[in-house]
Amino acid sequence: MPRLIVIEGHESQRRKLEELLSALSKKGYVLLEKTDASSVQGGWPAIFAASRSGGLFDDQGMTVVESAEQLGPFPEHLAEFLEKEDAGAVIVAIFGGDSKKTFPKEVLDRIEFVRSDAVVPPWKRREWLLSLAREGGIKLDDSAAALLAESIESQEELRAELDKLALYANGASIGPEVVKTLSFDEGGNALLRFLDGVCQARPKIVLNALKYLQADPSPLPLLTALYNRLRPALYIACYPERMQSRALAAIGATREYALRMARGALTAYGQDAVKRFMLSLIRLSYLEKTSAAEGWIGFEVALWSLMNEAGKNRPRRA
């Protein structure tokens, strides 16, 4: 019998879904299917039936249903089949808005609802951001937090900026100058454009982003960020398909976008090329901390060697 979790439409919906799938993966659940309700024939009963038909090796499965409002009203007779903790199957229903009209009052206590985060007023945004950084083990300077809080209103955008800055800082303190460079100047999105450009085998985008990122005297922060972005690709390449979900969950690699980029890199370059490149990054990272550092030249040699492999797998895009 399944456990039903409902995520209603709000700004933090995608993040809430990623966090939920990550938490469930750590408990041993495997994503069996992700579908849109518009393609489901039979409504809620069909979803319940599909959730109980897991694979041969999957004792605990997750089914994600987008646009769940299209499934129609929830049948009351299905309520008796709902479980909460320790259910063998989990159905995650994602709604575009409010779900109140879908479920009868009698079944609400048998359903788990994932609500949006409380709205943080502008005057509390800096403290909220500092608290968020502390929770994630990120060293965010007070003045840097103030700069971000004053410039960005959306809480989800603030979370995204903090993630980006932490990826680049790699454990170092994040001050206002770093924020100005990565978040607000002309090359503000250079890091993300670079990482996505590498995964998508788009050399022009990579080259344009590099001219901003090379202002840093050492390639180590960028090298580390690229390693972290491609790490899921390495795990996908090394594990058989039936073990990938649990392997990726073990390293916290459950974000849909990051996994899509990782799989794109494998498609573009091939598994062997990605494995060789990751070994090169590990080697360069070690050398960069010694007197034998190869600097930007060594990093670029490894980078363009990888991107040169793209033409051997599929046509290269500009």
pLDDT reading at 151 higher than 90: no
Rounded to two decimals, the pTM is: 0.59
For residues 274-301, average pLDDT: 92
Instruction: Give tens-digit pLDDT for 182-216.
Output: 776 555 678 878 988 999 999 999 999 898 888 88
Looking at every residue in the chain, the average pLDDT score rounds to 85
Closest CA to 67 of 31, 43, 90, 32: 43
Residue 83 burial by CB count (10 A; 0-12/13-18/19+): exposed, middle or buried? middle
Residue 248 burial by CB count (10 A; 0-12/13-18/19+): exposed, middle or buried? buried
Which of 18-27, 141-150, 214-223, 246-255 bottoms out in mean pLDDT, i.e. has the lowest? 246-255
Domains of the chain (ranges, CATH numbers): 2-114 (3.40.50.300), 122-185 (1.10.8.60), 207-312 (1.20.272)
pLDDT reading at 82 higher than 70: yes
| H helix runs in 200-255, sequence order | 203-213, 220-238, 241-250
Between CA 315 and CA 276 the distance in angstroms is 21
Q: How many residues does the chain have?
A: 318
Provide the edge-to-edge strand list for the sheet that holds 112-114.
30-36, 61-66, 89-94, 2-7, 112-114
Confidence of residue 318 (pLDDT cuts 50, 70, 90): very low
Between CA 63 and CA 193 the distance in angstroms is 32
pLDDT reading at 53 higher than 80: no
